[in-house]
Amino acid sequence: MNTIELQPTIDNVNIEAPEKSYPVLKRLNTFIENQKDKRLAWFMIGLLAQAVLILPIPAALIYYYNASVFVLAITLVLFFANIIAGMGGSKISVLILLLTLDFVIHMFMICGYILS
């Protein structure tokens, strides 16, 4: 026999739970902490990215846009800082910071010389 329900039960499906909004910095720190066991991979990614993408930038800027030699000096300092940090056993947050800092600085150099 079927039973008749006079008052329907409330399902949890229809109730919306408020989502917690995490700040960007907290999410970034959580991501970096989850990457602790992949420190060597981040070091190798940083070295390969710098060798393939970043190291040709000063040559192109100096040859085509008459950039100063300081572009080469900045590139080499950042490159060797990444090598020293990776081989010296720095934390994963330092390696990721150096990688992003390297890309940001070189993007500013490219924009500065190409747009001027």
Mean pLDDT of successive 10-residue stretches along the chain, which has 116 residues: 64 63 87 93 92 93 94 95 94 94 96 92
CA distance 29 to 47: 22
Domain membership flag for residue 48 = yes
DSSP state for residue 88 in the 8-state scheme: T
CA distance 63 to 61: 6
pLDDT of 7 reads 65
Domain membership flag for residue 96 = yes
Domain membership flag for residue 67 = yes
Q: Domain span at residue 87?
A: 39-115
The pTM of this model reads 0.76
Query: Which three-class secondary structure state does DSSP give residue 75?
Result: helix
Question: Residues with Cβ < 8 Å from 92, sequence gap 6 or more?
Answer: 32, 35, 36, 38, 39, 42
pLDDT of 20 reads 72
pLDDT of 10 reads 59
The CA-CA-CA angle for residues 104, 59, 106, to 5°, reads 5
Domain membership flag for residue 84 = yes
Number of domains in the chain: 1
pLDDT of 22 reads 74
Domain membership flag for residue 55 = yes
Whether the Cβ atoms of residue 108 and residue 74 lie closer than 8 Å to each other = no
Domain membership flag for residue 5 = no
DSSP codes of every residue in 97-109:
HHHHHHHHHHHHH
Domain membership flag for residue 25 = no
Domain membership flag for residue 10 = no
